[in-house]
Amino acid sequence: MKVRKEYLDALETLKKDTLKMGELSKTAEENAIKALVNHDKALASKLLEENVVIDKLEFDIENQCMRLLALQQPMAGDLRLIGTCLKIITDLDRISDLAGDIAEIVVQIADEPYAKPLIDIPRISEITQGMLTDCLAAFETQKIEMLRDFSERDDQVDGLFGQIRRELVAIMIENPRTITSASHLIFIALHQERIADHACNIASRIIYMVTGKRKKLG
């Protein structure tokens, strides 16, 4: 009984740490866009420092997974849980890295006027934040209905990114002095589009964890 309890406790710790990493990655993306909107270099710099915590947590979770696989020989649902954690922490780390890339751009451009008002970039962030929130809720509760429309949400993000890129290219053509600023905003939008792709990867893995069936999203 003691061995069984230790095993269940280890699984619970794994789930909690994965959720914690997810919340930290989600917050990193949220703060990166908040720093952009508010021209807040201090918040962007703080985000870059805090990403080290996410990197360490990824390493710890990977070690937990390897230990469970090596020592416990999990089966069925438990095995899918562990495999899902191993997979989604890579996506969560990439999300935090992309948030860090946005923060690095903010540090460079926050003191200058942007090439265009920030309208669609915050809209993309709202969608990606919703996707990440639903991923974490589905992982915790194993209720996956909220993940079914992720392909449509990803299409919305793709559409907004295309619109942002077209508008900024037009601005650059009209006024070459905006090229640097406009290029930075295009890269920020591109990083957000990739965050949505990672959210789709995470959602697919969670659906597999719960159902045992693979479903590609995005």
Quote helix, strand, coil % in the chain, to nearest 5: 85, 0, 15
In a domain, 216, yes or no: no
Q: Please check the confidence at residue 2 and state whether its pLDDT lies above 80.
A: no
What's the average model confidence in pLDDT over 135-144?
Answer: 96
Place of tokens 């990672």: 198
The CATH code of the domain that includes 161 is: 1.20.58.220
Mean pLDDT of the chain: 93
Q: State the pTM of this model.
A: 0.94
Number of folded domains that form the chain: 1
Rounded to whole angstroms, the Cα distance separating 61 from 180 reads 39
In a domain, 105, yes or no: yes
Name the pLDDT band for 1 (thresholds 50, 70, 90).
Answer: low
Q: Please check the confidence at residue 90 and state whether its pLDDT lies above 80.
A: yes
In a domain, 218, yes or no: no
Which domain range does residue 81 map to?
2-211
Rounded to whole angstroms, the Cα distance separating 177 from 45 reads 27
What's the average model confidence in pLDDT over 90-112?
Answer: 96
Rounded to whole angstroms, the Cα distance separating 218 from 210 reads 19
